[in-house]
Amino acid sequence: MKALVVDDDRVLADLVAFALRHQGFEVVQAHDGEAALRRWTEEQPELVVLDVNLPKIDGFTVCRRIRAQADDAAAMGHPAIIMLTVRSEEDDLVRGLELGADDYIAKPFSPRQLVARAHAVLRRAGKAPVPSVRQVGDLTLDPSRREVRVAHLHDESGPVALTPLECRLLDYLMANAGRVLTTESIIDYVWGPEGGDRDMVRQLMRRLRAKIEPDPARPAYIETVSGLGYGLRVS
């Protein structure tokens, strides 16, 4: 499933794109209104994350034109549109929804909040994305089934079942294989910024290692980097 992220703040656009890619989206970006309309026509994404305050053509106009073009060309389909804004006035909210936006998020927001809202609008539109299967070295994760296949275990017992939290943790580690992830970033991804702490990360990491490591006391896959966090080794 493809998503178009439109924001003239390139740092924010990259963060949003990063979060969506972790959920299996193919992501393209645009940084002004003219480019947004061009990329939408070229790529025909199922999801558009659209900032209101854009150079050249504002986000409200982009939203209206996308809806008008989709109505005129049924083959393009009707994308789900989430609008981003620093504004919180009711008039702006109403205007965005009247122009065809499916949802509206005021800045600042967490990437996890946006991903949750994206899934919600896509479900309502009957376009819920299928999580991508990930493979890194000996590990193959199927998030839709919450199962991981581990090469050294597969011949003996088949896929290993994971809890929802274990699956989210392993998915995050695999999406960032070869990088060190801070404990804070893991908390934010797995539980949300208000939902976890360091002890919970350690406990969850211990449970995951017990399921996938040949020797959990000497982990071959998930390494602890003292003072920094955790990472998945790339073999």
Q: What is the mean pLDDT of residues 159-173?
A: 91
pLDDT of residue 147: 93
Q: What size, in residues, is the chain?
A: 235
Q: What percent of the chain clears pLDDT 90, i.e. is strictly above it?
A: 48
Residue 216 above 70 pLDDT? Answer: yes
Query: What is the overall mean pLDDT for the chain?
Result: 86
C-alpha–C-alpha distance, residues 206 and 200, integer Å: 10
Residue 24's SS3 state is: coil
Q: Domains of the chain by range and CATH?
A: 2-124 (3.40.50.2300), 134-232 (1.10.10.10)
Residue 156 above 60 pLDDT? Answer: no
Say how far residue 39 (Cα) sits from the centre of its chain. 20
Range from 24-28, 68-72, 89-93 carrying the lowest mean pLDDT = 89-93
Residue 33 above 90 pLDDT? Answer: yes
Under a CB-based contact definition with an 8 Å cutoff, are residues 25 and 33 in contact?
no
Residue 80 above 80 pLDDT? Answer: yes
Q: How many CB atoms lie within 10 A of CB 218?
A: 8
How does DSSP assign 36-98, residue by residue? HHHHHHHH--SEEEEESS-SSS-HHHHHHHHHHHHHH-GGG---EEEEEES---HHHHHHHHH
Q: How many CB atoms lie within 10 A of CB 164?
A: 10
pLDDT band of residue 73 (cuts 50, 70, 90) is low
C-alpha–C-alpha distance, residues 94 and 70, integer Å: 21
pLDDT band of residue 189 (cuts 50, 70, 90) is confident
Q: What is the mean pLDDT of residues 166-171?
A: 91
Tokens of 143: 């998030």
C-alpha distances out from residue 67 to 26, 37, 96, 99, Å:
21, 11, 12, 8
Contacts of 88 (CB under 8 A, 6+ apart): 106
pLDDT band of residue 29 (cuts 50, 70, 90) is very high
pLDDT of residue 25: 86
Residue 36 above 60 pLDDT? Answer: yes
Under a CB-based contact definition with an 8 Å cutoff, are residues 50 and 6 in contact?
yes
Residue 78 vs residue 231, higher pLDDT: 231
Torsion of CA 175, 181, 184, 188, to 10 degrees: 0
Range from 5-9, 126-130, 147-151, 177-181 carrying the lowest mean pLDDT = 126-130
Nearest alpha-carbon partner for 16 in 151, 109, 150, 95: 109
